[in-house]
Amino acid sequence: MGIIERIKEIEAEMARTQKNKATEYHLGQLKAKIAKLRTQLLEPPKGSSGAGDGFEVTKFGHGRVALIGFPSVGKSTLLTMLTGTHSEAASYEFTTLTCIPGIIHYNDTKIQLLDLPGIIEGASEGKGRGRQVIAVSKSSDIVLMVLDASKSEGHRQILTKELESVGLRLNKKPPRIYFKKKKTGGISFNSTLPLTHVDEKLCYQILHEYKIHNAEVLFREDATVDDLIDVIEGNRKYMKCIYVYNKIDVIGIDDVDKLARQPNSVVISCNLKTTCKNVGRNGARESLHKTTRPAT
């Protein structure tokens, strides 16, 4: 049985298991098993030297921003508008098949913007060019998630899940858990406050799943099982993400206003070359019907 099949089998078992006090230890172990398998899934195949053709882009400037999104949401058009770099755009899906870099000049700062191929559901399992796209995203400083405003909520959840499956944590802070492996002495478990999600027994079981029998663990916050697994894995990356809702010209003003009020969000229309800078029904309407010149 392959890694993907084993992951799906464990996920099915978790879905069948009722969540209660009696099953929380079993579910914790299952989560640890899935995390280990997903880490194995991301390891490059034997004999492979990199992420793939066209994805090795040298870092340039003061920061790197990765454009992430489903096919045909406007990533290529946005790159062209912001940087002047031509990235082919068309009405059909998967126009961009490789990584297209561009540079944003802001005051004395140079920011590298990368237009990546569209992600599809299952990218974390290797579907499409998901693994290459995610590898480049991990090397970036910020993720710019471009979403179709008319499909924003469903797409945002899918993309966030795909990125979390490969260790990218968007707009989150690292858990305040101190963890250190030791050569001897067994497992030392302590906390500076009452814990409601993890106890000493569950921590031991998860550590044993990783074949860790000597370690020091100190909880400085009421963290979850997932947080503990993230700390043990040690390969998570915590990144800022800005959600860019494109195609706002095809939805109603009230929907535009709702999207604009969400944290870390920007609403735009590449078609009209405009953005709603003002939040509120009247401000959104005024901005939406004002066509501006492309950014340079």
With vertex at residue 203, the alpha carbon angle to CA 202 and CA 205, rounded to the nearest 5 degrees, is: 65
Does residue 16 register a pLDDT over 90?
yes
Global confidence as pTM: 0.79
**Per-residue pLDDT tens over the stretch 51-68:** 444 456 778 888 999 888
Token pair listed for 211: 């074949």
Ranges of each domain in the chain:
3-43+175-233, 63-172+237-288
Question: Cα separations (Å) of 80 from 56, 106, 238, 249?
Answer: 20, 16, 28, 19
Q: Which of the residue ranges 76-85, 104-113, 175-184 would you say has the lowest mean pLDDT?
A: 76-85
3-state SS, residue 292: coil
Mean pLDDT within 35-47: 74
Does residue 45 register a pLDDT over 80?
no
| Unique residue bearing structure tokens 């569950």 | 202
**Per-residue pLDDT tens over the stretch 188-227:** 999 999 999 999 999 999 999 999 999 999 999 999 999 9
Secondary element (H or E) of residue 242 = strand 237-246
**Most confident stretch, 41-45, 155-159, 230-234, 250-254:** 230-234
**Spatial distance between the Cα atoms of 85 and 103, rounded to a whole number of angstroms:** 8
3-state SS, residue 54: coil
**Spatial distance between the Cα atoms of 258 and 129, rounded to a whole number of angstroms:** 33
Token pair listed for 182: 């030791």
Does residue 288 register a pLDDT over 80?
no
CB 58 within 8 A of CB 70: no
Amino acid of residue 122: G
Question: Structurally, what CATH architecture does the domain formed by 63-172+237-288 represent?
Answer: 3-Layer(aba) Sandwich (3.40)
**Most confident stretch, 95-99, 253-257, 277-281:** 253-257
CB 173 within 8 A of CB 269: no
